[in-house]
Amino acid sequence: MAHTKAGGSTRQKGNRHGKRLGVKLFGGQKAQVGSILVRQNGSKVHPGEGVKMGRDFTLYSITEGLVKFIRRQGKKLITVVST
């Protein structure tokens, strides 16, 4: 009686929706207060001036101005420079 036993629940799951992660405002674009700049898993990009990080690692603007990506000490930072 050669047959395959139950494969477990992982084989029965279908496709999942994407998480819509990524950069939402790019360098040079204008950011308003509270606008989401980056949605990410883990802190791939760190907050700089005028930016805060939410508890799900979302980076959002706390000041109004232009978005700027920089590198400092080997880390990627995102800042919002007021105009």
Structural domains present in the chain: 18-81 (2.40.50.100)
pLDDT at 20 over 90: yes
What's the pLDDT band for 12 if we cut at 50, 70, 90?
low
Beta-carbon neighbour count of residue 48 at 10 Å? 18
pLDDT at 49 over 80: yes
Q: Evaluate whether 45 touches 68 at the Cβ level (below 8 Å).
A: no
What's the pLDDT band for 13 if we cut at 50, 70, 90?
confident
At 2 the pLDDT is 72
At 64 the pLDDT is 97
At 83 the pLDDT is 79
Give mean pLDDT, residues 66-79: 97
Rounded-to-integer distance, Cα 65 and Cα 77, Å: 16
